């Protein structure tokens, strides 16, 4: 990890790049800094805090936030008195670990790498663009980024929202959408794709703080097209957040408030006062986009984002260099996370031959055997953490107290338990005193347990013979004013830990071997891309397809919005799948049964029809679910009843045909036909762009064609906004409709008639277009069967539910199963391809390792005590417990590799047959008893 | 991520240590490659570290 | 400890992933709260057997805190 670093140059070819990186000094030795924060308290100079969007003051020597990685302070040279004026240096003697070093110099480093991933993020809109909304002129106009810090409980105002002008709590707050996006005035024609979501989120959070506050969101289109995003918008509306379709012209300070001027759709001009105005600023290309492009020679698009195409969404114009995240186009967190996993799989495939060569293998000494009957010899180490603990807690007293306890063979104090030399001391003392349990009272096990467990392993002890006591984060830091009570609390916590430690047992490090093969279900673009990527990484897959040919929905598409030919790409994919020696394709096939767990699945696949039906069993390590989706066909608007009513997909087919009059003279399109609160509750994300694509095609074939689009929100997110603008420039008329006034389609002789309310002219209109095109949405193909077969959760809308919507977007709750494509949710082809590559990256991880490591704190069932009631099986959220017959009796058994150690099973087992490694009943009970301190804990 | 050795086979450079860069780095190390994560600011995390909650579930972002 | 003021003895079961993490975060932000709780870390509040709660009360706890 190279922080404070700039890329200076990049040369070479794929597999053999040379990068020059400049490391700016942080003036603090990262290895020595303990992040105690003393230096910041002593530093006399003020520094505007960019982490808090300039809303707070910090010091030149600081850390951005407590959880920062690396957890090392740094000195901002722009405001440090010594670095600017050669004076001060007060921090140098203050630092107890002598970490401050003003002699650090910038260092240039040359890196040899095989591939490069560009993920520089995004830039911020120029304040000049914001000035017309009085930003910078009036303190109560803030950006949404600033507002985010204002609402944050850990932010500079502890989440209390106040007007900067006079400190009053705002009663009326306005959000202005599309500031610096969809705005050709500042040359940002694109939609930033995230602002609608963050505005709704911030509005919801604000309402939570103060239900009385009145919030209005001024928007052009609410683009909550992501999976289940519309539901949040509905929630916002339900709790009283107002949505007004209007572009606000300007914001004028008026008395002590801000006056908004805007015009509504029906042509009325309105003025409204607000206390606080939040600008939903867009995402720009990164500030240094041009510099990165100069150094790496990748092409940028017209908005200075990295240029890519729909079928290779992450490949830059330079081989060996891929892009991920907002630099590829504005996007939200799950899209970014998906792209980065996909970028990782592309880099991994490109460098297959070098895999594993750059990584060091760590070896440990043989583990010393600690038998169950062996008397515990506990070592207790109590940490000062500099003065973080010892300034409040009487560390010496706590250590002595521990030393008086039964089974404690050794006790001491450490200045910094986490320091390198302290690890050596701990190892030495373990050997010297023949310790078989270690208790460390210091900071949080959440951050430091792994470090100390490594030390134990180094000393030849099983890493589970360890217990940590948190006397810093949960004691000295939060009871600073009550040193005596804090010391008492530390003693109690140490006592509880020592009592638990008496009962801890070594737990075996379990690993389970992995069958290096994937089962990919569904051979549409998602399944094919995933299987091909795995093949590129050197892994075999069995690709099964329900139908008799592969290609999925791509077979019905002809060109993309950007104009790329779909069929050529599809043929290319099909040919590659056919030619790959790593892919075994089985058509007309369905999964009949799967057993096993991550690394060791065994599936029965049934293929063929009637008498040719064949069953085969496949052993595989992972499963990629790419079962896809299809066009929803609503029984509405005369679809299927009139030849003049087509879906967008049917229209696309007609337009790609050869008929002379294939582009009709007048077309009326109805968006959200059957979606968003109709047959389907959700937005299908692709239909608006599908409509725009067909519109541009019709206009290309027949420039005279008249086109009217009835819509609710045009969701031409990202760079598709350009197409929306182009369509409007060509004279296509877009008219919004409301749910309570849906258009009606009737048959009048040979013609179709559409009746709708024109919200712009405020009147009822009747038309007879040559053609009505319906944007109908997407439904998943049967997810029910597979969901039952593999125990996979689905959403209320029957799409598969990922393990974590932000951070684990392609993994499922069941280990070893990954999802991509339309089975996960509606999405366009480029996003499907990225998701498939990401699923391949995640699936490849266990295949590369060859084994699955099982955290030893998992549950285990004592078969003798198990009565086979099956309660645990029904309760386990991860499908990690199975029932099987032992000597004719039903018994539960944990699949360690799938267990997440939550312990629900153990808490509910009526016969106490289930035990959790590291958290046994015996251990927790001894902790509780030690809490009461009625047990004889202290040496006689 | 260990100490940097200048000559290292099977290394990938990731420019930018926001959520995208971090995720790519984690996946690549798991896939058996050495990663240089090059970040211009003093800490990795990017913009996501500044966020309080995330849409639509309002989960904590940190 | 003063006799006038009630200083409860509270036993807390904190989930490693959320409440225990939140308690750490409170420390990082230096929020101050009364030192009356003693915590038992569990990997999930699902681990909490009702028997643990009863045992805690029997051991003299004035209250049981379960955070997850």
Phi and psi at residue A78, in whole multiples of 5°?
A: -70, -25
Q: What is the pLDDT of residue A815?
A: 86
CB A118 within 8 A of CB A327: yes
Q: Read off the pLDDT band of A829 (50, 70, 90).
A: very high
pTM to 2 decimal places: 0.82
Highest-pLDDT range among A791-805, A819-833, A892-906:
A819-833
- d(C-alpha A340, C-alpha A349), whole Å: 14
Give pLDDT tens digits for A622-651: 999 999 999 999 999 999 999 999 999 999
Q: Does B2 have pLDDT greater than 50?
A: no
Q: Would you tell me which residues 1-30 of chain C have a C-beta closer than 8 angstroms to some C-beta of chain A? A: 11, 16, 20-21, 23-30
Give all strands (DSSP E) within A24-171, no chain letters.
47-48, 57-58, 61-62, 74-75, 107-113, 115-118, 123-124, 141-143
Q: Does A735 have pLDDT greater than 90?
A: yes
Which of A327, A360, A841 faces B2 most closely, judged by CB atoms?
A360
Closest CA to A667 of A687, A641, A689, A696: A696
Q: Is A482 on the interface with C (CB under 8 A)?
A: yes
Q: Does C1 have pLDDT greater than 80?
A: no
Q: What token pair was written down for A861? A: 């069932």
Q: What token pair was written down for B28? A: 């690549």
User: What average pLDDT does chain A have?
Assistant: 91
Q: What is the pLDDT of residue B5?
A: 45
Cβ <8 Å between C24 and A931: no
Q: What is the pLDDT of residue A66?
A: 67
Cα–Cα distances in angstroms (integers) from residue A840 to residues A626, A760, A790, in the given order: 11, 48, 19
- d(C-alpha A265, C-alpha A247), whole Å: 10
Mean pLDDT, residues A810-819 taken together? 91
Spans of all domains in chain B: 12-60
User: Domain for residue A716, yes or no?
Assistant: yes
**Same domain assignment for residues A78 and A154:** no
Phi/psi region, residue A652 (left: phi>0; alpha: psi -120 to 50; beta: rest), is alpha
Return the higher-pLDDT residue of A783 and A152: A783
CB B50 within 8 A of CB A154: no
Question: How many CB atoms are located within 10 Å of the residue A173 CB?
Answer: 25
**Same domain assignment for residues A541 and A677:** no
Measured between CA atoms, the residue of chain C closest to residue A909 is C49
User: Domain for residue A325, yes or no?
Assistant: no
In the block, which residue shows the tokens 């699923």? A839
**CATH number for position A412:** 3.40.50
Give all strands (DSSP E) within A304-454, no chain letters.
321-323, 378-383, 408-414, 437-442
Give pLDDT tens digits for A142-169: 999 999 988 887 778 878 899 999 999 9
pLDDT > 90: what percent of chain A? 70
CB A859 within 8 A of CB A892: no
CA angle A293, A296, A297 (to 5 degrees): 65
The helix (run of H) or strand (run of E) holding residue A276 is strand A276-281
CB A932 within 8 A of CB A888: no
Q: Read off the pLDDT band of B60 (50, 70, 90).
A: very low
Q: What is the pLDDT of residue A362?
A: 66
Q: What is the pLDDT of residue B62?
A: 36
Quick check: helix, strand or coil at residue A734?
A: strand
- d(C-alpha A516, C-alpha A622), whole Å: 8
**Contact list, C39 vs chain A (CB under 8 Å):** 470, 474, 493
- d(C-alpha A816, C-alpha A443), whole Å: 34
Q: Read off the pLDDT band of C4 (50, 70, 90).
A: low
Q: Is C54 on the interface with A (CB under 8 A)?
A: no
Pairing relationship of beta strands A172-179 and A283-284 according to DSSP bridges: unpaired
Q: Terminal CA-to-CA distance of chain C, rounded, Å?
A: 30
Closest CA to A331 of B13, B22, B55, B25: B55
- d(C-alpha A880, C-alpha A900), whole Å: 8
Quick check: helix, strand or coil at residue A158?
A: coil
Phi and psi at residue A772, in whole multiples of 5°?
A: -115, 125
**Same domain assignment for residues A130 and A269:** yes
Longest distance between any two alpha carbons in chain C, whole Å: 38
Residues 6+ apart with CB under 8 A from A159: A150, A151, A152, A153, A209
Q: What token pair was written down for A704? A: 């005279």
Q: What is the pLDDT of residue A134?
A: 93
Q: What token pair was written down for A369? A: 């055997």
Domain edge (last residue) among A441, A467, A501? A501
* Residue A903 CB burial class (10 angstroms; 0-12, 13-18, ≥19): buried
Q: What is the pLDDT of residue A636?
A: 93
Closest CA to A254 of A366, A331, A140: A140
**Same domain assignment for residues A130 and A272:** yes
Q: What is the pLDDT of residue A764?
A: 94
**Contact list, A825 vs chain B (CB under 8 Å):** none
Q: What is the pLDDT of residue A658?
A: 92
- d(C-alpha B13, C-alpha A106), whole Å: 20
> How far from the centroid of its chain's Cα atoms is residue A601's Cα?
27
**Same domain assignment for residues A671 and A746:** yes
Q: What is the pLDDT of residue A940?
A: 42
**Same domain assignment for residues A700 and A571:** no
Q: What is the pLDDT of residue A54?
A: 80
Strand partners, A415: none
Q: What is the pLDDT of residue A897?
A: 79
Q: What is the pLDDT of residue A36?
A: 78
**Same domain assignment for residues A386 and A466:** yes
| Torsion over CA: A590, A633, A644, A711 (sign) | negative
Mean pLDDT, residues A377-397 taken together? 92
Domain edge (last residue) among A284, A299, A321? A284
**Contact list, A358 vs chain B (CB under 8 Å):** 8-11, 33-34
Cβ <8 Å between C43 and A902: yes
Q: What token pair was written down for A353? A: 């031959």
Cβ <8 Å between A53 and B50: yes
Chains that touch C (3 or more CB pairs under 8 A): A
Quick check: helix, strand or coil at residue A689?
A: helix
Closest CA to A843 of A532, A594, A530, A536: A530
Q: Read off the pLDDT band of A580 (50, 70, 90).
A: very high
In the block, which residue shows the tokens 């679910």? A625
Cβ <8 Å between C26 and A934: no
User: Domain for residue A693, yes or no?
Assistant: yes
Give pLDDT tens digits for A297-315: 999 999 999 999 999 999 9
**DSSP H helix total and E strand total for chain A:** 23, 49
| Closest CA of chain A from B18, distance in Å | 7
CA angle A890, A892, A897 (to 5 degrees): 145
Least confident of A724-733, A839-848, C1-10: C1-10
Give pLDDT tens digits for A254-289: 888 999 999 998 888 999 999 999 999 999 999 999
pLDDT > 70: what percent of chain A? 98
Domain edge (last residue) among A501, A535, A563? A501
| Torsion over CA: C54, C59, C63, C68 (sign) | negative
Q: Is A637 on the interface with B (CB under 8 A)?
A: no
User: Domain for residue A737, yes or no?
Assistant: yes
Give pLDDT tens digits for C33-67: 999 999 999 999 999 999 999 999 999 999 999 98
Which of A120, A205, A842 faces B16 most closely, judged by CB atoms?
A120
Q: What token pair was written down for A771? A: 């053609």
Domain count, chain A: 6
Q: Is C39 on the interface with A (CB under 8 A)?
A: yes
Residues 6+ apart with CB under 8 A from A533: A345, A346, A349, A836, A837, A840, A841
CB A571 within 8 A of CB A579: no
Cβ <8 Å between B21 and A341: no
Cβ <8 Å between B2 and A351: no
Domain holding A382, by residue range, is: 378-501
Closest CA to A486 of C3, C62, C33, C12: C33
**Contact list, A7 vs chain B (CB under 8 Å):** 15, 38
Cβ <8 Å between C41 and A445: yes
Q: What is the pLDDT of residue A610?
A: 82
- d(C-alpha A443, C-alpha A385), whole Å: 8
Phi and psi at residue C48, in whole multiples of 5°?
A: -70, 110
In the block, which residue shows the tokens 């505007």? A48
Give pLDDT tens digits for A867-905: 999 999 999 888 889 898 988 899 999 988 788 889 999
**Same domain assignment for residues A236 and A161:** yes
Mean pLDDT, residues A492-512 taken together? 91
**Same domain assignment for residues A823 and A862:** no
Closest CA to A345 of A539, A203, A133: A539
Q: Does A35 have pLDDT greater than 80?
A: no
Cα–Cα distances in angstroms (integers) from residue A443 to residues A230, A383, C18, in the given order: 42, 8, 17
| Torsion over CA: A193, A195, A196, A202 (sign) | positive
Quick check: helix, strand or coil at residue A524?
A: coil
Cβ <8 Å between A201 and B32: no
| Closest CA of chain C from A684, distance in Å | 33
Q: What interface predicted TM-score (ipTM) does this complex get?
A: 0.95
**Contact list, B52 vs chain A (CB under 8 Å):** 148-149, 151-155, 205
User: Domain for residue A345, yes or no?
Assistant: no
Q: What is the pLDDT of residue A539?
A: 96
Cα–Cα distances in angstroms (integers) from residue A710 to residues A247, A741, A758, in the given order: 20, 11, 9
CB C42 within 8 A of CB C16: yes
Q: Would you tell me which residues 4-23 of chain B have a C-beta closer than 8 angstroms to some C-beta of chain A? A: 4, 6-23
Q: DSSP secondary-structure letter at A307?
A: P
Q: What is the pLDDT of residue B54?
A: 56
- d(C-alpha C2, C-alpha B62), whole Å: 40
* Residue A188 CB burial class (10 angstroms; 0-12, 13-18, ≥19): buried
**Same domain assignment for residues A139 and A276:** yes
> How far from the centroid of its chain's Cα atoms is residue A197's Cα?
15
- d(C-alpha A752, C-alpha A337), whole Å: 46
Give pLDDT tens digits for A342-363: 999 999 999 888 888 777 666 7
- d(C-alpha A820, C-alpha A811), whole Å: 9
| Closest CA of chain C from A388, distance in Å | 11
**Same domain assignment for residues A96 and A171:** no
The helix (run of H) or strand (run of E) holding residue A251 is strand A248-254
Looking from the CA of A579 toward its CB, the CA atoms found within 13 Å total: 7
């Amino acid at each position: 990890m190279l922080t404070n670093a700039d890329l200076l140059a990049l040369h070479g070819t794929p597999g053999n790049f040379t990068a020059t990186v400049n490391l700016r000094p942080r003036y603090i030795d990262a290895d020595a800094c303990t992040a105690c924060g003393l230096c910041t308290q002593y530093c006399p100079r003020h520094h505007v805090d960019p982490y808090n969007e300039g809303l707070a003051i910090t010091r030149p020597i600081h850390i951005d936030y407590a959880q920062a990685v690396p957890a090392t302070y740094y000195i901002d040279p722009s405001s440090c008195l010594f670095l600017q004026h050669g004076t001060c240096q007060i921090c140098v003697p203050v630092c107890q670990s002598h970490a401050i070093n003003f002699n650090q110099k910038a260092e240039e480093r040359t890196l040899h790498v095989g591939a490069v991933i560009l993920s520089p993020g995004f830039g911020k809109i120029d304040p000049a663009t914001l000035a017309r909304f009085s930003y910078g002129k009036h303190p109560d106009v803030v950006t949404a980024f600033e507002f985010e810090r204002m609402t944050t409980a850990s932010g500079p105002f502890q989440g209390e929202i106040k007007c900067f002008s006079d400190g009053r709590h705002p009663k009326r707050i306005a959000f202005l959408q599309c500031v610096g996006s969809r705005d050709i005035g500042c040359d940002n024609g694109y939609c930033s794709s995230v602002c609608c979501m963050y505005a709704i989120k911030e509005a919801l959070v604000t309402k939570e703080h103060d239900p009385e506050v009145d919030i209005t969101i001024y928007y052009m289109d609410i683009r909550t097209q992501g999976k289940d995003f519309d539901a949040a918008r509905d929630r916002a509306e339900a709790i009283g957040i107002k949505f007004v379709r209007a572009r606000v012209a300007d914001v004028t300070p008026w008395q002590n408030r801000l006056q908004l001027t805007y015009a509504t759709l029906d042509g009325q001009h309105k003025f409204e006062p607000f206390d606080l105005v939040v600008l939903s600023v867009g995402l720009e290309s990164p500030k240094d986009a041009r510099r990165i492009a100069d150094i790496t020679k990748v092409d940028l698009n017209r908005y200075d984002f990295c240029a890519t195409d729909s079928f290779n969404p992450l490949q830059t114009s330079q081989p060996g260099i891929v892009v991920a995240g907002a630099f590829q186009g504005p996007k939200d967190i799950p899209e970014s996370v998906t792209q980065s996993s996909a970028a990782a799989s592309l880099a991994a495939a490109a460098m297959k031959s070098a895999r594993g060569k750059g990584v060091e293998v760590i070896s440990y000494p043989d583990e010393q055997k600690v038998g169950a009957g062996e008397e515990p010899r506990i070592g207790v180490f109590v940490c000062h953490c500099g003065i973080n603990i010892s300034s409040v807690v009487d560390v010496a007293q706590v250590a002595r107290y521990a030393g008086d306890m039964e089974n404690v063979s050794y006790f001491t104090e450490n200045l910094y338990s986490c320091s390198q030399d302290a690890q050596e001391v701990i190892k030495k003392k373990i050997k010297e005193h023949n310790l078989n349990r270690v208790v460390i009272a210091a900071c949080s096990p959440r951050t430091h347990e792994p470090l100390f467990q490594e030390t134990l392993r180094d000393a030849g002890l099983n890493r589970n013979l360890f217990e940590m006591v948190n006397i810093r984060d949960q004691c000295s830091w939060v009871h600073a004013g009550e040193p005596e009570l804090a010391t008492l609390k530390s003693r109690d916590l140490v006592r509880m830990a020592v009592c638990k430690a008496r009962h801890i047992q070594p737990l075996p490090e379990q690993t389970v071997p992995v069958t290096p093969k994937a089962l990919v279900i569904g051979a549409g673009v998602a399944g094919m891309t995933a299987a091909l990527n795995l093949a590129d990484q050197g892994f075999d897959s069995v690709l099964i397809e329900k139908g008799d040919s592969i290609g999925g929905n791509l077979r019905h598409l002809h060109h993309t919005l950007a104009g790329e030919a779909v069929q050529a790409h599809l043929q290319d994919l099909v040919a590659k799948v056919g030619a790959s020696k790593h892919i075994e394709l089985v058509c007309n096939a369905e999964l009949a049964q799967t057993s096993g767990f991550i690394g060791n699945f065994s599936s029965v696949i049934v293929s063929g029809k009637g008498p040719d039906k064949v069953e085969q069993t496949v052993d595989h390590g992972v499963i990629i679910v790419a079962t896809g989706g299809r066009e929803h066909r609503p029984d509405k608007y005369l679809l299927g009843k009139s030849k003049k009513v087509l879906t967008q997909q049917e229209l696309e087919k007609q337009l790609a045909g050869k008929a002379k009059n294939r582009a009709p003279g007048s077309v009326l399109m109805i968006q959200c036909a059957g979606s968003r609160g109709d047959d389907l509750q959700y937005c299908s994300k692709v239909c608006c762009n599908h409509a725009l694509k067909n519109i541009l095609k019709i206009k290309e074939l027949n420039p005279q064609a008249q086109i009217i689009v009835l819509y609710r929100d045009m969701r031409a997110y990202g760079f598709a906004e350009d197409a929306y603008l182009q369509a409007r420039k060509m004279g296509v008329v877009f008219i919004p409709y409301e749910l309570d006034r849906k258009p009606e389609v009737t048959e009048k002789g040979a013609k179709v008639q559409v009746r709708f309310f024109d919200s712009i002219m405020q009147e009822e209109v009747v038309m007879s277009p040559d053609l009505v095109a319906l944007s109908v949405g997407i439904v998943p193909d049967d997810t029910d069967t597979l969901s039952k077969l593999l125990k996979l959760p689905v959403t209320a809308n029957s799409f598969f539910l990922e393990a974590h919507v932000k951070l684990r977007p392609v993994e499922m709750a069941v280990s070893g199963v990954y999802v991509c494509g339309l089975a996960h949710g509606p999405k366009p082809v480029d996003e499907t391809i990225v998701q498939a590559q990401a699923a391949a990256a995640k699936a490849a991880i266990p295949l590369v390792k060859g084994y699955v490591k099982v955290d030893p704190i998992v549950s285990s069932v004592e078969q003798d005590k198990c009565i086979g009631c099956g309660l645990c099986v029904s309760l386990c959220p991860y499908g990690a417990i199975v029932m099987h017959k032992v000597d004719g009796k039903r018994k539960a058994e944990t699949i360690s590799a799938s267990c997440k150690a939550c312990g629900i099973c153990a808490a509910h087992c009526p016969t106490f047959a289930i035990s959790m490694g590291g958290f046994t009943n015996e251990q927790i009970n001894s902790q509780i008893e030690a809490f009461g301190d009625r047990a004889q804990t202290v040496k006689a | 991520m260990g100490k940097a050795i200048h000559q290292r086979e099977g290394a990938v450079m990731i420019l930018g240590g926001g959520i995208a860069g971090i995720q790519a780095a984690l996946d690549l190390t798991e896939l058996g490659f050495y990663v240089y994560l090059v970040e211009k600011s003093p800490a990795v995390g990017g913009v996501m570290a500044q966020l309080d909650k995330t849409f639509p579930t309002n989960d904590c972002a940190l | 400890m003063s006799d006038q003021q009630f200083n409860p003895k509270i036993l807390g079961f904190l989930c490693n992933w959320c409440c225990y993490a939140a308690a750490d975060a409170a420390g990082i932000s230096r929020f101050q709260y009364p030192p009356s709780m003693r915590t038992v870390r569990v990997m999930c509040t699902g681990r909490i057997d009702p028997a643990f709660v009863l045992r805690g009360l029997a051991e003299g706890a004035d209250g049981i805190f379960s955070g997850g």
